[in-house]
Amino acid sequence: MRVKGIKKFRSTKNGKIYCYHRKTGKRIQAEFGTGAFFAELARLDDLVAEVDPKPGTLGGLFAEWRAGPEAQELAPRSQSDYAKMLDYLAPLEAMPLVELDRPFVIRLRDKAYRKRKRRFANYVIAVLSSVCSWGVDHGLLDENPCRGVRPIKRPKSLPRANRPWTDEEREAVIAEAPKHLLVPIGLGMFAGLREGDAIAVTKTAYDGTAIGKRTNKTGQTVWWPCPAPLRRILDNAPKHSAVTLAANSRGRPWTESGFRSSFFKFIRKLEAEGRVGKGLTFHGLRHTVATTLRELGYDNETIADALGQSSPGMAKHYAKDADLRKKMTGVVKRFDRRMNKVATKRVKPTE
C-alpha cells in the first residue's frame, strides 16, 4: 500500500514496519494501514497545513519575497540558508508589519542568541534585514526595522575562527588522511574550494590539469590550474562510480553532514596525538590559500578571482572570464613553487 506524506522503513531485526511523517519527522505510533494510523496521519497533516499568508503581515512579506526574482537568483547554498532562517521565523508570520519595529528586532536577535548562539542570531537578523529592505523597495514597508541593529560581537576571548593552517599541520593531515578524505581536503588545501564545493565538484570539472566550476555560494566562476600536490592526489585517488571527484568510503558522493562528521573525527584524532593544534576547520584552508597568495604579493581582486568571491569590481562585466585562465595560470605557478619550497625544506637528507 502506497501512502503519500510518509517515510516507511522495515526493520531488518524484527521485520516490523516503522513510519514517519515526512514533513514533521514524527514517528507514527499506530500500526501501518489501520484506522488509527490514518487518523494519526491526518492529525499530523493538519499541524502543517499551509495557510495563505495575509497581506500586510510578516508571512505575506516572506511570500512575496520568495516569489520575486531576487530570491530565485540566490546561489543554491544561499537559498538553503535563507530558507532555514525564514523557517525559524515562521511562527511570527501572522504578525502585522506595522508592529515590526527596531526594539522588536533587537528582542528577536537576543532570543535567537539565547537559543542558537551568536552566529545564528546574527544571520537571522541579516536575512530579515535583506527581506525587509526588499519590502521597502516594493512599497510593503515604510522603513527597514533592522536598520541600525548591530550584530552581536564575537567575544575577544574566543580563539580565531577558521584560522589558517600551519605548514606542519598541512603536512601532517596530508600524510595521515584516509584516502576517501584526501580528495576533498586536497581541493580545499590546494585550490581553496569551500567544503560544499569540494565534495560536489564533478569529475568533468577536472581535465587532468585544471579545475573549472561555478561556486555554489556566490555563483562565481573559478578556474584553477592544479598545483602538483593536488594533481597527485586526484590522479591517485581510489576509483569509484560517483559523478563527483570526491567519494566516501563506499564510493558514493559525500553528504555535507557525512563529510563534516568524518573530517572532524579525523582532525580530533590528530589533535589528541599532538599532530595538529586546536581550531582546525575545513574553511580555514581557504584562509590558508588567501594568506599564502597575499604573502606572495597578490592584490585582493586577484585573490577574489582565485577563491570565487564576489565583489562590485568583479560584477561589472563578464569580460574578465576571458582573461581568467591566463591570469590564474601565472598565479598558481607561483603558489605551486611556494608549496614545493616548503615541502623541500622539510625533507630530511638521506645519509
Q: What is the residue-level pLDDT of the chain in tens, covering all 351 positions?
A: 778 888 888 777 777 888 888 777 788 888 888 888 889 888 888 776 655 678 889 999 999 999 888 888 887 778 888 989 998 998 898 899 999 999 999 999 999 999 989 999 999 999 999 999 999 999 999 999 999 999 999 888 777 778 889 889 999 999 999 999 999 999 999 988 989 889 999 999 998 888 887 777 766 777 888 889 999 999 999 999 999 999 999 999 999 889 999 999 999 999 999 999 998 999 999 888 888 888 777 777 777 777 776 653 432 222 233 456 667 777 888 888 887 776 666 555 555
Assigned CATH class of 167-345: mainly alpha
Cell numbers at residue 193, please? 574550494
State the pLDDT at residue 174.
94
pLDDT the model gives residue 218: 67
Bridge-based pairing state of the strands 221-225 and 210-214? antiparallel
What pLDDT, on the 0 to 100 scale, is given for residue 280?
A: 92
Cell 601565472, located at residue: 330
**Annotated domain spans of the chain:** 6-47, 58-137, 167-345
* Bridge partners for 211 per DSSP: 206, 224
Q: Outline where 143-178 has alpha helix (H).
A: 167-176
Give the side-chain half-sphere CA count within 13 A for 244: 18
DSSP state of 265: H
Task: Quote the Cα angle for 122-128-129, to 5°.
Answer: 85
Cell numbers that stand for 41 in this block: 496521519
Q: Give the single-character DSSP code of 163.
A: P
Residue 251 pLDDT: 93
Rounded CA separation 91/85 (Å): 12
d(C-alpha 247, C-alpha 255), whole Å: 9
Q: Can you give the pLDDT at residue 32?
A: 86
The pLDDT score that the predictor gives to residue 171 is 93
Tell me 248's DSSP state.
-
Read off φ and ψ for residue 229, nearest 5 degrees.
-60, -35
Torsion (CA) 320, 324, 330, 335 in degrees, nearest 10: 110
Contacts for 147 with CB less than 8 Å, ≥ 6 apart: 102, 129
The DSSP symbol for 308 reads: T
Q: Whole-model pTM above 0.75? A: no
